[in-house]
Structure 1
């Protein structure tokens, strides 16, 4: 990064924005992530939502992804949910059926 544009105020503002939008980052709360994996997934979802779904006033109603030329349109929450569903593993083929009397215990 260009040293002229490095500022802790940008980082602190992003931290505040994240705390305001995600309850698990607020202080003294019972909405914490019980598993680290769930915490990572929530941060990933928030990051995609913030960059592709949320309209920013400072960008004249564009999302950061649109302003950077990464996306031609503003995403909806349904688009985000569809992307999550597509990334889930598909169920495999089930095995053959055996009647209860054929199973040896």
Structure 2
């Protein structure tokens, strides 16, 4: 399983973070959705490359737009995949260290 966070700048000068993955992982997620599981993505941000990541938002899409932060500060982003059953109980999630970070200066 390979996960990559990628960042870019929006026309409004916000930071857009997209979670990318290999084909095998994407196919597994589609299979889980067909079986009735809910897949969500939790995005994290840090000012340090390898530690102190704090959860920012959980979404059903693989895209997060960061509109906050100090101007000129360098932020690192990661994400994890979270799988929930029909009752809303968390049944599986990826490790945060499995995701390669994205970096962008605000």
* TM norm. shorter chain > 0.5: no
Q: Which has the higher strand share?
A: 2
Range into which the TM-score falls when normalised by the shorter chain: under 0.3
TM-score by length of 1: 0.26
Higher Cα Rg: structure 1 or 2?
1
Q: Which has the higher helix share?
A: 1
Which of 1 and 2 has higher RCO (CA within 8 Å, sep 6+)?
2
TM-score by length of 2: 0.25
